[in-house]
A and B are shown apart, each in its own frame.
Chain A
Amino acid sequence: MSDYHEMWASLGLDLKTHDAVLEIVGKGYQDVFLSQKNRPEGMKYFDFVMSEVHGLRIKEIMDAKAEGRKVIGTFCVFVPEELVLAVNGVCVGLCAGAELGFEEAEKYLPRNTCSLIKSAFGFKLAKVCPYIESSDLIVGENTCDGKKKAYESYKDIVGNLYVMDLPQMKSEAGKALLKAEYVKFAQKLEEISGKKITVESLKKGIEIVNNKRAAMSRLAKLRFADPTPISGLDALLANQVYFYDNPERFTASVNAICDELEKRIQDNIGVAPKGSPRILISGCPMAVPNWKIPFIIENSNAIIVGEEMCTGERGTRNLVKDQASSVEELINNIVDRYFEIDCAIFTPNQNRLEHIKQMVKEYKADGVLHYGLQFCQPYQMESKVVEKELEKAGIPVLLIETDYSQEDAGQIKTRVEAFIERIS
Chain B
Amino acid sequence: MKSLGIDIGSRTIKVAVINNGNVTISRKSENSFNTLEVCKKLLEGLDYDAITSTGYGRHLFAEHYKCNTISEIKAFAVGAAHILPSCRTVLDIGGQDTKAIALDGKGNFTKFEMNDKCAAGTGRFLEIMAMTLRYTLEEFGNEALKSNTATNISSMCTVFAESEVVSMLAKGNDRQSVAKGIHQSVVNRTISLLNRVGINNDILFAGGVAYNKCIVNILEEQLNKKVFINDDPQIIGALGAAIYGTY
Chain A contact residues, CB within 8 Å of chain B: 391, 401, 407-408, 410-411, 414-415, 417-418, 421-422
Contact = CB atoms under 8 A, between A and B. Distances in A.
Interface string B112-151: 1010110000000000000000000000000000000000
Given A410-B56, A414-B56, A421 B70 contact: yes
Nearest to A401: B116
Of B56, B71, B108, B110, the most chain A CB neighbours within 10 A belong to B71
Interface string B66-83: 000111111000000000
Contacts of A418: 71-74, 109, 112
B73 A421 contact: yes
Given A410-B56, A411-B97, A414-B56, A421 B74 contact: yes
Contacts of A408: 117
Contacts of B111: 391
A415 B114 contact: yes
A414 B117 contact: no
B39 to A, nearest CB: 18
A421 B117 contact: no
Contacts of A414: 56, 71-73, 97, 114
- The 4 tightest CB contacts between A and B, nearest first, are A418-B73, A418-B71, A408-B117, A417-B71
Nearest to B70: A421
Contacts of A391: 111
A421 B71 contact: yes
Contacts, number: 35
Nearest to B101: A418
Nearest to A410: B56
16 contacts: A401-B116, A410-B56, A411-B97, A414-B71, A414-B72, A414-B114, A415-B73, A415-B114, A417-B69, A417-B71, A418-B73, A418-B74, A418-B109, A418-B112, A422-B110, A422-B112
Interface residues of B, number: 16
Contacts of B71: 414-415, 417-418, 421
Interface in B43-98: 56, 69-74, 97
Contacts of B70: 417, 421
A413 to B, nearest CB: 8
Nearest to A412: B117
If over half of A's interface residues share one DSSP class (helix, strand or loop), that class is named, otherwise mixed; here it is helix
Given A411-B114, A414-B73, A422-B109, 7 more contacts: A391-B111, A408-B117, A415-B71, A417-B70, A418-B71, A421-B74, A422-B110
A32 to B, nearest CB: 17
B74 A407 contact: no
Contacts of B114: 411, 414-415
Contacts of B73: 414-415, 418, 421
B121 to A, nearest CB: 14
A414 B237 CA distance: 14
A411 B117 contact: yes
A417 B109 CA distance: 13
Contacts of A411: 97, 114, 117
A410 B9 CA distance: 12
A407 B96 CA distance: 14
Contacts of B109: 418, 422
B50 to A, nearest CB: 18
Interface in B133-182: none
A421 B110 CA distance: 10
Nearest to A420: B71
Contacts of A417: 69-71
B204 to A, nearest CB: 17
A415 B108 CA distance: 16
A391 B112 CA distance: 13
B237 to A, nearest CB: 12
A401 to B, nearest CB: 8
Contacts of A415: 71, 73, 112, 114
A407 B118 CA distance: 10
Contacts of A407: 117
A407 B117 CA distance: 8
A96 B109 CA distance: 37
A351 to B, nearest CB: 27
A418 B75 CA distance: 10
A58 to B, nearest CB: 36
A329 to B, nearest CB: 51
A377 B18 CA distance: 48
A414 B116 CA distance: 12
Contacts of B74: 418, 421
A411 B55 CA distance: 10
Contacts of B97: 411, 414
Contacts of B72: 414, 418
A408 B114 CA distance: 12
A422 B97 CA distance: 19
A410 B112 CA distance: 17
Nearest to A417: B71
A132 B72 CA distance: 44
A394 to B, nearest CB: 11
B77 to A, nearest CB: 9
B9 to A, nearest CB: 12
Contacts of B116: 401
Contacts of B110: 422
Contacts of A410: 56
A147 B111 CA distance: 34
Contacts of B117: 407-408, 411
Nearest to A422: B109
A401 B196 CA distance: 15
Nearest to A421: B74
A135 B70 CA distance: 49
